[in-house]
Structures are given as C-alpha cells and as structure tokens.
Amino acid sequence: MAAFREGEGRAPIELHSLHLRDGLHIPDSMLSVTEKKRAAAFRSSAARRLFVAGRVLCRGIIGNMVGCAPQALSLAITPSGRPYLCDYPEIDFNLSHSGDRLALAVCHGGRVGIDIERLDAFPEEIAFEIMPLILSDQELDRVQRLAAEARRTVLLSYWVRKEAALKCLGEGFLANPQTVTLDPDGTTSSVEAPPLGEPIAIRSGRFDGEESQHFHWAVATSNATTELLWRHHAERDFLTRFL
C-alpha cells in the first residue's frame, strides 16, 4: 500500500493475515538485536517462528508504508508488553497469533487492537470454566441460555472482542475483561472508564483458513468509522516480498 498522505482522508485500517506452514524457516535478519535475543529465548520453535514472522510482517508492511527500510524501524514495548513504533507515533499496530496463523492491524491516528482465535480454540469444558471470568453478569446470563454448541461459539466471539479491546487499551489481561461490556448484536461495544478517554469500537467476523480451520477475529479501535481492509498473504508472497 502506498504511503498515506495528509489531506487524503482517513486511511483504512489495514489487516494482514498469514498462515505459516510446518517447517518453514523464517530468518531473523530483519529483527533488532533485542528482538533477536527475545526470539532466541523461546523454548518452542513454533512460538519462535510466530514471533519472528510477526516482526517480519510488521516491519515489512509498516516500512513500506512510511518509506523506510524494514530493519531500520525502531520498535519498543511498553511495561505491559505492547509493542509500538518509536519514531511514528501517528501509526499504531497490533499483532495476534492463533495456531499457525498471524494477524497484524495497522492504523493511522488513534489506536488499534486485534485478536484472532481458531474456532476450536478451547473445548466445551474449558469454555465453562472461562465464562464467569471474562463475561459480565448480564453477558453470562445471555450465554447460559444458549444451547451448548452455540454457547462455545458465542463465548469465543466475546473472547476475541474483549481481548482486542484490552489490547487496544494496552493492558491486555492485566485489565479485567468483565469491564469490557458488549452489546448483544455483537457489532459495537463500550469500555468502562477507558484510559484513552475516547470510546472504543469493536468490529468482528470470521474467516475460513486452509484445512477447514476457521477463525474468529476482532478489531478494536478508537477510529470507529474507519474502513477495515483485510489482506490474506500467501506464504509464497510473504517469503518473496518480505525476506
């Protein structure tokens, strides 16, 4: 995507997804020294690959957007772990992974949080345990009235929307997910006493991945009316374009 210029109206929020196949090696040469150290500290090679691929995707997309070499972008993380760009405060981004799928959201102005989860992220019994921890009393009541299978799907849709909101706000699950209350229609939400001082809008949906994997996604942003633009990258394009 071409660099966004002032006066052209609000740029859409770019959403990128990437499916990493087994065994794909992703070099960490584009990463900073700190990121390389963090990558090296992962015990699980799958988790390491996801981390490296996330940083490569993020550096590649944002570097292209601002006209800067991907490896020259300076990224830091807040005390609660939220990554941000040091030199472009007008651009916000957020990453999420589930299984071998990565998602990146990038916006100009305001803040963004993204979450993706595989539809089969957790079994019914785990769903039962999680529900009272993340749902408000009203939401819990609503979900408990549903049939078992619908309950799990609806819970997951609550989960991704709440996590996206908490990631937008920056605290993640250090904040209480019960403070993010969602409207029943599932398209809008409100956050109690948002630290940003502005309402957070949450949009969500589903996409179908390869091998019958289905994902719930949610994007929370202070740019309530900005268009969302999904781009699903084939692994081949990712390798040739970004590495």
Ligand X SMILES: CC(C)(COP(=O)(O)OP(=O)(O)OC[C@H]1O[C@@H](n2cnc3c(N)ncnc32)[C@H](O)[C@@H]1OP(=O)(O)O)[C@@H](O)C(=O)NCCC(=O)NCCS
170 binds ligand X (CB under 6 A): yes
What binding mask, one character per residue, do residues 67-106 give for ligand X by CB under 6 A, x or -?
-------------xxxx----------xxxx---------
> Which neighbouring-strand residues pair with 13?
228
Taking the least distance from each CB to ligand X, the nearer of 14 and 115 is 115
Cβ 192 to ligand X shortest distance, Å? 18
DSSP code, position 2: P
| Other beta carbons less than 10 A from residue 231's beta carbon | 13
219 binds ligand X (CB under 6 A): no
Cα maximum dimension of the chain: 53
Chosen residue from 24, 46, 133, 174 binding ligand X by CB under 6 A:
174
**Residue indicated by tokens 């070499």:** 69
Question: Phi and psi of 42, rounded to 5°?
Answer: -70, 135
**What CA–CA distance (Å, rounded) separates 221 from 169?**
9
Spatial contact of 50 and 97, defined as CB atoms under 8 Å apart: yes
Chosen residue from 126, 173, 192, 195 binding ligand X by CB under 6 A:
173
What binding mask, one character per residue, do residues 104-133 give for ligand X by CB under 6 A, x or -?
---------x-x------------------
Give the footprint of ligand X on this chain (CB under 6 A). Answer: 51, 54, 80-83, 94-97, 113, 115, 163, 167, 170-174
